[in-house]
Amino acid sequence: MPLLVMKFGGTSVGDLARIQNAARKVQREVERGYDVIVIVSAMSGKTNELVGWVEQTSPMFDAREYDAVVSSGENVTAGLMALTLQEMDVPARSWQGWQVPILTTSAHSAARFLDIPRENIDAKFAEGFKVAVVAGFQGVSPEGRITTLGRGGSDTTAVAFAAAFGAERCDIYTDVDGIYTTDPRISSKARKLDKIAFEEMLELASLGAKVLQTRSVELAMRYKVRLRVLSSFEDTDESSGTIVCDEEEIMESKVVSGVAYSRDEAKMTLVTIEDRPGIAAAIFGPLAEAGVNVDMIVQNISERDYDDHPGAVTDMTFSCPVNQIPRARKAMEDARAAGIINYDDLAVDTDVAKVSVVGIGMRSHAGVAATMFKALAAENINIKVIATSEIKISVLIDRKYMELAVQALHDAFELEKSA
């Protein structure tokens, strides 16, 4: 029997009416001949409520008990979904993470998968059950404790089950009807993509697109799991949504597939540091140890001598998420106090945004950077930092120009047109 994995996020199961709507979509796939594994999130708002309760009860909480509480939201949804399906005469059974079992590491609130044995769920399918409703976001550690996977973990759970069970496809139901060339709220010309390559989706997810969680895309790319992103709130068929797949499945694509943005960026500059071998390691080693996610890096080379700084000096600029500024600042201050580095000042600019263009077509086409920079220059948008990869170009600009930059780039690459 062919098998399908279907994942429903928090807004898709936000109340009993929405659970019934999701259950009808599952029923339709069963009627088409599929066995179905349904991965569910907690009802919208429930996880935040549970986290709040934990923090009010114990500000310095035990991570094991945090996971025990926070994972309960998915358990409730799984049970309600199974009951709803049973009322529709669809043979269904709910599963918590420990019952599957979903085996994970012991890193509470940030666990990673070790294994998903198939035997228990396969046995239920053999008995005649058609649907296994599994609580997403959770697993069980080698010590037998409940673990959680971090925010967005239900997406990752769905992809992991699709890989473990050899599913034909993994459908991610959410509150949008697919992947767009950019955020439709910013550009009215944004176009829904029929297909997008894993690598492009991974870049878009890591650059700020919120539709799929980054870890889930990484896992899908590693195990070649075909994903489909589609809306929970619209009537859908086999052609609905956007397929995330191997590059080989896309016959011909545009040079640039999408424009992504992130408001939550900060630019930090170490002013007047020594220009010597090993200085980058001395800076970014402590930042890595402090868990700071550094993205864009620019070293401003200078051969000038200053009276109080004999020898060559330079400035080092990097970007990181805004919420990691205190961690980054402390890491640099500690490194200076320990004599690892020396600098005159640490300048922080939080009034910036990152805008990126992404496309696998960049590998074989020249001129993408020139087109991007020309479009920004035409709008008098100054570029502060540039970073590139094989299929991405990102720039850091003043935040007030972010929406204008997204619209200008979308127009410059004519993303409203299909390939």
Q: Give the mean pLDDT of 283-304.
A: 84
pLDDT for res 82: 98
Task: Give dist(CA 308, CA 310) in Å, integer.
Answer: 6
User: Average pLDDT, stretch 240-262?
Assistant: 86
190-204 pLDDT, tens per residue?
999 999 999 999 888
Q: How far from 286 is each of 134, 244, 335, CA to CA, in Å?
A: 40, 36, 7
Per-residue tokens: 132: 């296994």
What integer is the mean pLDDT of 121-134? Answer: 96
Q: Are strands 35-40 and 138-140 parallel, antiparallel or unpaired?
A: unpaired
Q: Determine if residue 8 is labeled as part of a ligand binding site.
A: yes
Long-range contacts of the stretch 110-115 (C-beta < 8 A, 24+): 110/149, 110/150, 111/139, 111/141, 111/147, 111/148, 111/149, 111/150, 112/149, 113/139, 113/156, 113/160, 114/142
pLDDT of residue 408: 95
- For residue 191, with 0-12 CB atoms within 10 Å meaning exposed, 13-18 middle and 19 or more buried, which class applies? middle
Q: Is 210 annotated as a binding residue?
A: yes
The pLDDT, as a whole number, for residue 176 is 85
Q: Given this model, what pLDDT does residue 311 score? A: 58
Res 252: pLDDT: 63
| 49 Cβ contact list (under 8 Å, min separation 6) | none
pLDDT of residue 308: 53
Q: Report residue 156's pLDDT band, with 50, 70 and 90 as the boundaries.
A: very high
CA distance 363 to 379: 27
47 labeled part of a ligand binding site: yes
Share the mean pLDDT of the chain.
Answer: 91
Q: Is the pLDDT of residue 238 over 80?
A: no
- Give the DSSP per-residue string, 207-249: TT--SS-HHHHHHHHHHT--EEEEESSS---TT-SEEEE-GGG
Q: Is 175 annotated as a binding residue?
A: yes
- What is the per-residue pLDDT for 96? 97
Distance CA 366, CA 92 (A): 53
Q: What is each CA distance from 279 to 283, 299, 301, 313, 315, in whole angstroms? A: 6, 11, 12, 11, 11
Q: What is the mean pLDDT of residues 129-148?
A: 96
Tell whether residue 189 is among the known ligand binding residues.
no
Q: How confident is the model at residue 209 (pLDDT cuts 50, 70, 90)?
A: low
pLDDT above 90 coverage of the chain, percent: 72
Kindly report the backbone phi and psi dihedral angles of residue 69, in degrees, each rounded to the nearest multiple of 5, phi listed first.
-75, -50
User: pLDDT per residue over 12-25, tens digit each?
Assistant: 999 999 999 999 99
What pLDDT does 302 receive?
57
Is the N-terminal amide bond of 277 cis, ω within 30° of 0? Answer: no
Taking 80 as the threshold, does the pLDDT of residue 226 lie above it? yes
CATH 3.30.2130.10 location in the chain? 260-412
Handedness of CA 52, 56, 60, 64 (dihedral sign): negative
User: How deeply is 383 buried, as exposed, middle or buried, from its count of CB atoms within 10 A (0-12, 13-18, 19+)?
Assistant: middle
Q: How far apart are CA 375 and CA 380, in angstroms?
A: 9
pLDDT digits (tens, 9 = 90+) for 404-416: 999 999 999 999 9
Q: Which CATH number fits domain 3-175: 3.40.140.10, 3.30.465.10, 3.40.50.1980, 3.40.1160.10?
A: 3.40.1160.10
Q: Model confidence over 292-301: pLDDT tens digits?
A: 999 899 887 6
The whole model's pTM is what?
Answer: 0.84
Q: What is the pLDDT of residue 248?
A: 81
Is 104 marked as binding a ligand?
no
Inter-residue contact 256 to 361 (CB < 8 Å): yes
Mean pLDDT value of segment 168-187: 90
Q: What is the mean predicted confidence (pLDDT) over 275-279?
A: 89
Give the pLDDT confidence of 321-364 residue by residue, as tens digits: 999 999 999 999 999 999 999 999 999 999 999 999 999 888 88
185 appears as a binding residue in the annotation: yes
With 70 as the cut, is the pLDDT of residue 419 above it?
Answer: no
CB atoms within 10 A of CB 373: 16
Tell whether 388 is in a known binding site: no
The answer, yes or no, to whether residue 175 has pLDDT greater than 90, is: no
Which value, in Å, is the radius of gyration of the alpha carbons in the chain?
24
Query: How do residues 379-397 score in pLDDT, each as one tens digit?
Result: 999 999 998 888 899 999 9
Q: Which CATH class is domain 260-412?
A: alpha beta
Contact 393, 259 (CB under 8 A): no
Task: For the chain, give every residue range classified as CATH 3.40.1160.10.
Answer: 3-175
Determine the pLDDT at residue 205: 81
- For residue 307, count other CB atoms closer than 10 A to its CB: 5
Instruction: Please tell me the predicted confidence (pLDDT) of residue 310.
Output: 52
